[in-house]
Chains A and B, each alone.
Chain A
Amino acid sequence: DPKIIQKPKYLVAVTGSEKILICEQYLGHNAMYWYRQSAKKPLEFMFSYSYQKLMDNQTASSRFQPQSSKKNHLDLQITALKPDDSATYFCASSRGTTNNQAPLFGEGTRLSVL
C-alpha cells in the first residue's frame, strides 16, 4: 500500500482556474516537500515544510501556496492557472530535514492546463 497518497492522479484544468493538489503521508514523518517536473526538465524543488512550518520556498510565484492542516498533510493550492503550470507535481516526506534522512516520494499528480 502506498504510504504517501497524492490525489488526484490526473487533473485537467482551464487557464485562470484554481486547483488543490492533495498529499497525505502515513509514515509518521515530520517533513514534507513538493517537487515539480515539467516536460523535458528535471524535477525541481518547490517547498519544504517541517512540523507544519515553511522551511524553504524556491517557487517564485505566489500563485503556489502550500497548505498544511495536519502534520501529515501538505496540500498545494495553485491559483490563476497557466498552461506553463502543466507538469507532474510530486509530494515527498522524510523523518526530518537534517542530513541522511532520505525523502520518499508519492506517485505524483499530473496536471494539464488547457
Chain B
Amino acid sequence: GDQVEQSPSALSLHEGTGSALRCNFTTTMRAVQWFRKNSRGSLINLFYLASGTKENGRLKSAFDSKERYSTLHIRDAQLEDSGTYFCAAENMGYKLTFGTGTSLLVDP
C-alpha cells in the first residue's frame, strides 16, 4: 500500500535556530497535510498543499508531487514549537496516509 516515510524521527533545536522535516512518498500523492500534535494530544492543522509552497509565520512547507516529497521548514524555533509533527498524504480524495512523526524538542 501507499507509504509515507518521515524523517527525522526526533529533532532537538536550540531556540532561534531552524531545521527541516521531510516526508517521502512511495507513490504519487495528490496533496499533503502537515499537523502538530500539541501537549493535549490534539492534531493542529498547519498546512494543506496540493502543490507548491505555503508559508505561515516561521513555518514554510513545500510539496512536489512529481518528485514525491514534502518538506516543513521551521525557522527561529521557539519553545512552544516543541511537539510531534506529522505529515499525511492524500492519494484518494478522502483517505490520509500518515508518516510516523517527528518529535521536536526546542530548548533554551
Chain A residues within 8 Å of B, Cβ to Cβ:
31, 33, 35, 41-45, 48, 50, 55-56, 58, 88, 90, 94, 97-108, 110
Majority-rule SS of B interface residues: strand
Is B62 in contact with chain A by the CB < 8 A criterion? no
B50 interface residue, CB < 8 Å from A? yes
Q: Is the CB of A45 within 8 A of B95?
A: yes
Number of A-B residue pairs with CB-CB distance less than 8 Å in the complex they form? 65
Q: Which residue of B lies closest to A99 (CB)?
A: B93
Distance in angstroms between the alpha carbons of A35 and B97 in the assembled complex: 10
Report the interface size class on chain B.
Answer: 20 to 34
Contact B97 A108 (CB under 8 A): no
Closest to A105 in B: B43
User: Which of B4, B35, B95 has the largest count of A CB atoms less than 10 A from its CB?
Assistant: B95
